[in-house]
Structure 1
Amino acid sequence: MIPTPTTSHLSAADFESVYEPAEDTFILLDALEQDAELLKGSRLVLEIGSGSGCVSAFLGAICGPSSALYLCTDLNPHAARCTALTGQSNSVPLDPVLTDLTSALHPRLEHAVDLLVFNPPYVETDDAEAFDAQEDGVIERAWAGGIGGMRVTNRLLEQVETLLSPRGIFYLVAVPENKPLQIIEDMKARGLHGEITLKRRAGREHLHILRFSRPAESHTAVDDPTP
């Protein structure tokens, strides 16, 4: 079992402006751990919206801290600082980039990303709330997702096929309001195979982890773990 990265170096004040690891974080870590053998050998790892840096530090434990380049993007300068500190505290060389999704990295990452991870703001809100949260830089931008909870996610989905390398894999956190099966169908139209690899209830949320890859890649199917 791979230990959860420590974030004890971050304070309560940090978590007033940076998303604290929670159930959606932990189900994502579990999904990544169950695919650990599949992920080893990744050379370029990219997490969108890295927040505390917990997920990227965990990926470093899977792929090897010196075996890959770990890029972590976030709009929040506090998150970039926290990500860097978490990398240092867990002996993983994380490289935070202050940018909107992947804006500062195109086109250098075209078909270069072996492992792409996104835990987006997926909670369904009205679009005005989601827009204001993103513009104002408040903590709500970590979860306010607009109509269908897809305001930010849809923007990244347009980029995924261009980002993934031939062996690339993309993990996405979603809830039923995001229509996971519709996301899978939409990504199929973009040339990517998708499936739900893990489900878990956490309070009122029914969390899903979606995994996408190019159809030519052969991955072992995961049984539906729905209770």
Structure 2
Amino acid sequence: MIPTPDLSHLTRTDYEHVYEPAEDTFLLLDALEEDAQTLRDSKPHICLEIGSGSGCVSSFLGAILGPSNTLYLSTDINPHASRCTFLTGEKNKIPLNPITASLTQPLARRLSNAVDILLFNPPYVPTFEEEAAEAQHGAGLQGSWAGGSDGMRVTDVLLRQVKNLLSPNGRFYLVAVKQNNIPDIQKRMRDDGLQSEVVLQRRAGREHLFVLRFLR
């Protein structure tokens, strides 16, 4: 069993600005651990996490892969998250490279068909559209969960980019909830040439969480 990354350096003040790992985070960690040997065998060169928050997920992926020549990139619109991600990488001896940016900007062109492992735990909670727009504009804690009318406001944007980001053997792991319409997500990505399956699912209070894995 791979231990959860050490986050003891983060304070309550940090979590006033950055999403604290919760059930959705741990479900994604469990999904990655389930695929651990396959991920190691794939010898990834470039890993990219969108919305890195505390840096917990990227650090966990680094622990799975162990010493390697892998480049760990991450983005987050929240500058506090970029700082926390960097510190979490240092704390866990994983060389994380956080960038304060929205989704894949400004990396998309340089990473065209080059990302071997893509991770996204998006703002998936259904909210008013105005609330989601304000959350993204404010680039704070609310932006980590407010997802618009169907919880897909931000995810929709990234889904259109995935085909052009993944390497020939690339993998994309996405966290979603039932309200996001899992079959529709899978159909849309299948139309883009990406096959998918539900790796894990779990109920957490009122949420029915899923981790989807996409492959070419």
Partner of 2:188: 186
Cα displacement (A) at 1:126? 1.1
Partner of 2:213: 211
Partner of 1:220: none
Give percent identity, aligned residues only: 60
- Give the match's secondary structure for 2:73: strand
- Give the match's secondary structure for 1:165: strand
Amino acid at match of 1:201: R
Q: Residues 23-49 of structure 1, C-alpha deviation per residue, up to 9 Å, x if partnerless?
A: 000000000000001111111100000
Partner of 1:137: 139
> Is structure 2 residue 25 aligned with structure 1 residue 12?
no
Q: Residues 130-186 of structure 1, C-alpha deviation per residue, up to 9 Å, x if partnerless?
A: 001111223111100001100000000000010000010000000010001110000
Partner of 1:159: 161
Partner of 1:25: 25
Amino acid at match of 2:63: A
Cα displacement (A) at 1:96? 0.3
Amino acid at match of 2:35: D
> Is structure 2 residue 103 aligned with structure 1 residue 101?
yes
- Give the match's secondary structure for 2:150: helix
How many angstroms apart in 2 are the aligned matches of 1:92 and 1:103?
Answer: 23
Partner of 1:55: 57
Cα displacement (A) at 1:65? 4.1
Unaligned runs of 5+ residues in structure 1 are 215-227
How many angstroms apart in 1 are the aligned matches of 2:110 and 2:53?
Answer: 23
Contact 2:78-2:140 within 8 A present in 1 as well:
no
Q: Aligned-pair RMSD on alpha carbons?
A: 0.8
How many angstroms apart in 1 are the aligned matches of 2:105 and 2:139?
Answer: 17
Contact 2:77-2:101 within 8 A present in 1 as well:
yes
Judge which range, 194-203 or 58-67, deviates more: 58-67
Amino acid at match of 2:16: E
* TM, length-normalised to structure 1: 0.93
Count of equivalent residues: 214
Unaligned runs of 5+ residues in structure 2 are none
Runs of 4+ aligned residues of structure 1 deviating over 4 Å after TM superposition are none
Q: Residues 66-107 of structure 1, C-alpha deviation per residue, up to 9 Å, x if partnerless?
A: 330000101111000000000000000000011110011121
Partner of 1:219: none
Cα displacement (A) at 1:124? 0.3
From 150, 161, 165, the equivalent of 1:148 is 150
How many angstroms apart in 1 are the aligned matches of 2:29 and 2:22?
Answer: 11
Partner of 2:115: 113
How many angstroms apart in 2 are the aligned matches of 1:138 and 1:105?
Answer: 21
Amino acid at match of 1:17: H
- Give the match's secondary structure for 1:201: strand
Amino acid at match of 2:107: L
